[in-house]
Amino acid sequence: MESAAVKSEGLVIPLIDFSRFLHGSPQQRQETADAILQGFQTAGFIYLKGLPIGPEARQRAFAASAAYFRQPAAAKLAQGWTTPEANRGYSAPGREKTTSLTDAEAVARLRAAAPDLKESVEIGREGDPDHPNIWPPEDGEGELREIGFKSTMLDFHDRCKQLHVEVMRAIAVGLGIDEQWFDAYTDEGDNTLRLLHYPEVPKDVFQANPGQVRAGAHSDFGSITLLFQDSRQGSPGGLLLGGLQVQSPTGVFVDATPIEDTCVVNAGDLLARWSNDRIKSTIHRVVEPPAGDGPVHPARYSIAYFCNPNFKSYIKAIPGTYETEKDLKYQGINSGEYLVQRLATTY
């Protein structure tokens, strides 16, 4: 039923057919939920196949993402990321430094030494009256309008929101609690869709600077992240580019190679905390991809969907993750406040 997508240095990341949870018999459903929970408890990462988000929706999103980043630099800067509270808009290369450091000064020093070679744009829940999304202008002519950038992203956001609901249900089934236990935390969809573009880069940049990465080592903040790696469109010649690495229990970074038509799902810090550390939030990064021909690495695109418990919800240990109050490792915390605090240190 299930196989390992990655198996190295004590890191085993399972490849799980999610259609067996969505459409399988009660037994297949339970087995799949168990495998998912097990993956989150050991590696903190899983690969899912058999997804309700099919290749077409995926390709549309990647094509629209590439078009977004083709806008002139000045246009993108005019749609710039503003505040941790809003967490929406464009970040130019070097703007964000993903790291596990929480001290703002240390992050600033690191950013100056080896800026991440990426640009990104964040799209939050549409319709939040306090924090409207920052859409590129679609008036007049132009590629973004033809592609229907906004409608494509809203559609993808919705599909990912639903997948978040379903993966959290699988975790609930795995934990043996009410299957709908998390629904009251996932229904708002306070999630962030992030489009990422790692521009093409001469290989000697990595030779000249041994610390150079495309995205620095970090863990994610929220509940889970749905990560879609390289589409064919994003990598010329149909080559799946790669570069994502996940830290093993022994501290070694292991390649999490892209697998066609799968989505990588990893647990974030807030889910680790919420589960009283039963679930792991594992450090990962993006490095120089495996070498192809020529002096330049092609551009890489990825799409990360950062899922969070509803911002207004209070997060204290999930039932079934502790025996008595004495076992609780963390105090309760408000979801939105926790995330804003974490974001404030990376930008």
Ligand X SMILES: O=C(O)CCC(=O)C(=O)O
Nearer to Fe ion, 20 or 194 (CB): 194
Looking at this protein, which amino acid is placed at residue 245?
Q
Q: What character string, x for contact with ligand X (CB under 6 A) and - otherwise, covers 183-222?
A: -----------x-x------------------x----x--
Nearest distance from residue 218's CB to ligand X, in Å?
A: 6
Residue 33 host element (H or E): helix 26-42
Local structure of residue 327 (DSSP, 8 states): G
Between helix 149-175 and helix 55-69 the angle, nearest 10°, is 130
For residue 325, the 8-state DSSP code is G
Chosen residue from 42, 223, 229, 310 binding ligand X by CB under 6 A: 229
Q: Are 49 and 35 in contact (CB under 8 A)?
A: no
Subset of residues 52 to 81 that bind ligand X, contact rule: CB under 6 A: none
Instruction: Please choose which of ligand X, Fe ion, none residue 107 contacts, taking the beta carbon within 5 to 8 angstroms, the exact cut-off set by kind.
Output: none
At residue 194, the 3 state secondary structure works out as: strand
Per-residue CA distances from 244 to 98, 148, 253 (Å): 13, 29, 9
Using CB under 6 A, which residues numbered 292 to 331 contact ligand X? 302, 304
Q: Which CB sits closer to ligand X, 65 or 152? A: 65
Binder of ligand X out of 76, 284, 297, 342 (CB under 6 A): 284
Tokens matching residue 179: 């299957």
Q: Residue 302 touches which of Fe ion, ligand X, none (CB < 5 to 8 A by kind)? A: ligand X
Residue nearest to Fe ion (CB): 220
How many Cβ atoms are within 10 Å of 177's Cβ, its own excluded?
15
Angle among Cα 329, 333, 334 to the nearest 5 degrees reads 160
Residue 220 interacts with Fe ion (CB under 5 A): yes or no: yes
Distance of closest approach, residue 233 Cβ to ligand X, in angstroms: 16
Please state, in angstroms and rounded to a whole number, the distance separating the CA atoms of residues 147 and 138.
10
Q: How far is the CB of 198 from ligand X (least distance, A)?
A: 7
Specify the residue, 75 or 217, whose C-beta has the smaller distance to Fe ion: 217
Binding site for ligand X (CB under 6 A): 194, 196, 215, 220, 227, 229, 244, 284, 286, 302, 304
